Amino acid sequence: MFCNKCGSSISETVNYCGQCGEDLRVTKGRVNQSIAGDNGFSAGQHNVFTGNNINLGMRDERPKAFIDRESVKPVKLMGKHIKTAWLMVVGFVGFFANVATIFTSIGTPNNYNMILWLLCSFSAFLFILGFLLKRFRFMPLIFQRNAESDRSGYVYITKLSGNCALCDGELKLRHLGPKNNKKMFLCCTRNPEHRCHFDPTILNDPIN
């Protein structure tokens, strides 16, 4: 007989090719071999498996942290649920309107310049927030609150909470790392060493 891999002539009594090391038990029908990249195995009905080793990959035995939204509050204005597009439009228009007002008042006494600059900054914040929510759908704010948007673009203020997988501590969202490369982590309130990287994309859409 011949090796299916390299074509070398081989004896019926050997189980491995002397040239390339191919397992000849598969060629002889003594062993069934199936290799897949997703660690999955499937077979039809009425199959009997005898003397086979089926390896579905290593199981991850590391403890996992569980986190969910503790509170979800829709952001409304005059009873209407606000969307990210509204934040962007209002922020954009408000920013340039206030800038125009400030520049047209240059050279004339104006006691409202400070208020206009504050409104200008707030408008810029609304535009940036709307843009980031439209792209990432999650933005951490202050006091353990977050701004989130669903797939339809509606905006919510949420608070996350969870339990540490290693102790009975509570998980809090923290920004850790170098100044210009901070990342979000879930940190335990009892032991700060108990922490893991937080990926907001694992959360489902906010539901009020």
> Does residue 29 have a pLDDT over 70?
no
- Count the neighbouring beta carbons within 10 Å of the beta carbon of residue 110: 14
d(CA 47, CA 29): 16
Q: How many distinct helices (H) and strands (E) make up the chain?
A: 3, 9
pLDDT tens-digit readout, 95-137: 999 888 888 877 666 677 788 889 999 999 999 999 999 999 9
Most confident of 3-17, 33-47, 168-182: 168-182
> Does residue 53 have a pLDDT over 90?
no
Contact predicate 171/66, CB 8 Å: no
Tokens of 2: 């011949």
pLDDT tens-digit readout, 157-174: 999 988 888 888 888 888
DSSP one-letter string for 131-159? HHHHHHSEEE-STT-EEEE-TT-BEEEEE
In 3D space, the residue among 91, 167, 75, 103 whose CA is nearest the CA of residue 128 turns out to be 91
Contact predicate 190/168, CB 8 Å: yes
Torsions phi, psi of 127, nearest 5? -65, -45
